[in-house]
Structure 1
């Protein structure tokens, strides 16, 4: 285990012995049944990829039902509970040339020589977990979704991504959240077998501290056996300007060291023992009334890109401002991004929002097939992004949401062969949440 992990664990345990100056979560427990909750999310999704440059188009569509049944905690000094996470669904249409991770596929997402997968006609997945809580510290063991900047489940597909393992979350010190986890199995949205990604062991740790109402800071770490070691830091500061406007400054940075067995797709070296990457980004967002404008700069160094989701680290393990269809995270890449959002609540259409963005990246390093030399150190990519989202605010359909995203992606020929082809893509989702109890 990493030294920093041991330090965090040594910090977490003594916090249980500290008398709190605010209410204990466990002291407020109402009971195993009394605090139980159950919900199902019906999600209909469509993903179409119109690939350019002679590449085969892809499309995926399906219907899923995502269940969560969660008991309350028993009363007493130590509370106990259980829960279930599960999903089931079926494909809609032929899902021609699938492979976008939208729905589970035959052979757990294995591709043919053309990079295509055969989608399942229907599926059922999931698992259970047990949990225990003392004071403001909760331990969970079993099937989980994970949300960390370095290790996160992809929840943006028709089916969710699950992990199996043990996690601890502690709020013993006011405004400080400590997390620690060990996970041994991973199943992506395109897989059914609970250990389809052959995850041996992933150790995660982290701390998030709210300094005051304006300033937050966090650090997270990850060590996946035989794959990679990763660290992340963030600071976020909000500067109020007047009663309806503010400036938000956000800094994010990752550093990754790859193990010899780890998988990358954008490395520029054939030395498997010497692959590393650092990427950082700074953004400033101006908010005034219904308008929000963000300007971001992102820069990558090292002999690989920020390659995630190839090592069972999760399809959501990226928190960078220039991340849309592309993440603008190629080896050596620099990128800028201008994003604008509008809340139509100002026009008496509450729940409707629109976001548009343009990102441009340059100075991308691309190596030849055997990674012995650079083809170019100045490849470029760009993306135009639009999203419209509407969430019903009241009535019998409250919280039902519809969102449509469009990506227009273009890149130089050298980078297209290394990364992905030019694409015009649509993703459309209808979410219908139902509270069971």
Structure 2
């Protein structure tokens, strides 16, 4: 099991890794090191389904405020992190909202989406040397618990999280969470999570190679382990090769598997090779899922999901489709372009094609394919500096047996996000 290997790895590294200087000893104070940031996000997602399902679209204006205090001085530093969120619905009323993959505003029992939503949360934090303990509501970003911030407003979790960086290059994390707040609702326990425990760490061996090992246990849902490795080989100033491996092994609780109508075991991994040369990049990736169920992640426990974060899929072939069905094998070819050297700094473009086959269905092997395009521009200077506009499109097509199995359906998706960050202090 990966979680036992984490402990062995950590013990070995402690013996050979230099100790870092104490961040707490350098604390300037609760107020002096405080920061307040504001993010204005206008988000629109439209899904045009091709086989009878109702098209879905939602549009909203979000305001995301994040406050992070410094730590009081002394051996034990005390601080506070807090956030405030507000979302205003601009479109996506009854009949257009409600798609699980969009989920800007939760529907009521009559199918009406909320006109707006607001919530706030915070966590108290304690620091000794380079180790921080947080308790309260927060947004964890770990390979086995990664909160979803890819829609209008982010989701969050309530519990505690211990993060230690006592040794140079080594980060260890341990957490216990008892509530999940969905991104489209105001209730703190709106996700129905019972209990989620995480443990793991990452280590940067040198400037070229880093690795991560993590494990999680979602009560009454599943256990999961993760292994990630990244290697970067520079050739000169403008050329490099990056190899990125990510893998998960999951075992569903029997009752949860019965509710889903699947088996209990899944192993999924991806390996991506990216060659960057000047303003260009080429990526070739392979992803493979094995076992008697697909890779399960995200969603909400009270809605048939796992509850371990909507971005808990550190895999190469994840766009609109995640290419994570039972026994699925997929290949990706992608190209990226930075327009900076061509006189338009801040503008970038990416195109990718992914094809998956060997999908297990009740009617033979299924296939799916997706074209992905994304154009992004970040303003480089002036009053609108750091304003980001991101336009993406996906075209997803599946075989008939895949559609009938309920795994994926044909459709065209458009996303338009406009974000403006403001650093208040």
Q: Which TM-score applies when normalising by structure 1?
A: 0.90
How many Å separate the matches in 2 of 1:141 and 1:6?
Answer: 27
Q: Is the 8 A contact 1:49 1:57 kept in 2?
A: yes
Q: Deviations over 1:123-142 (max 9, x none)?
A: 11121110010101111111
Match of 1:339 in 2: 334
SS of equivalent to 1:318: coil
1:201 equivalent in alignment to 2:200: no
Q: Is the 8 A contact 1:262 1:311 kept in 2?
A: no
1:25 equivalent in alignment to 2:19: no
Measured at CA, do residues 279 and 10 of structure 1 come closer, stay the same or move farther in structure 2, by a change above 3 Å? closer
Cα deviation for residue 283 of structure 1 reads 1.2
1:312 to 304, 307, 314: 307
2:278 to 279, 285, 289: 289
Unaligned stretches of 5+ in structure 1?
270-274, 367-373
Match of 1:227 in 2: 221
1:352 to 347, 367, 378: 347
| Higher alpha-carbon deviation: 304-313 or 320-329 | 304-313
Match of 1:370 in 2: none
Q: Deviations over 1:173-227 (max 9, x none)?
A: 1100101111110012123211112111100011101011111111111001111
1:114-153 equivalences under 5 Å are 117-153=111-147
Match of 2:80 in 1: 82
Match of 2:302 in 1: none
The alignment yields a C-alpha RMSD, in angstroms, of 2.4
Measured at CA, do residues 3 and 306 of structure 1 come closer, stay the same or move farther in structure 2, by a change above 3 Å? closer
Q: Deviations over 1:235-289 (max 9, x none)?
A: 11111222210111111111000012336997544xxxxx110011111110001
- The number of residues matched between the two structures is 414
Match of 2:414 in 1: 426
Match of 2:68 in 1: 70
Q: Which TM-score applies when normalising by structure 2?
A: 0.92
1:243 equivalent in alignment to 2:232: no
Cα deviation for residue 354 of structure 1 reads 0.3
Cα deviation for residue 8 of structure 1 reads 4.4
How many Å separate the matches in 2 of 1:106 and 1:235?
Answer: 40
Q: Is the 8 A contact 1:161 1:187 kept in 2?
A: yes
Match of 1:47 in 2: 45
1:174 equivalent in alignment to 2:153: no
Measured at CA, do residues 52 and 264 of structure 1 come closer, stay the same or move farther in structure 2, by a change above 3 Å? farther
Match of 2:360 in 1: 365
How many Å separate the matches in 2 of 1:386 and 1:432?
Answer: 22
Unaligned stretches of 5+ in structure 2?
299-304
Q: Is the 8 A contact 2:17 2:168 kept in 1?
A: no
SS of equivalent to 1:185: strand
Match of 2:301 in 1: none
Match of 1:276 in 2: 265
Q: Deviations over 1:99-138 (max 9, x none)?
A: 243413134xx7x8xxxx5321011112111001010111
How many Å separate the matches in 2 of 1:277 and 1:39?
Answer: 40
Match of 1:388 in 2: 375
How many Å separate the matches in 2 of 1:106 and 1:339?
Answer: 37
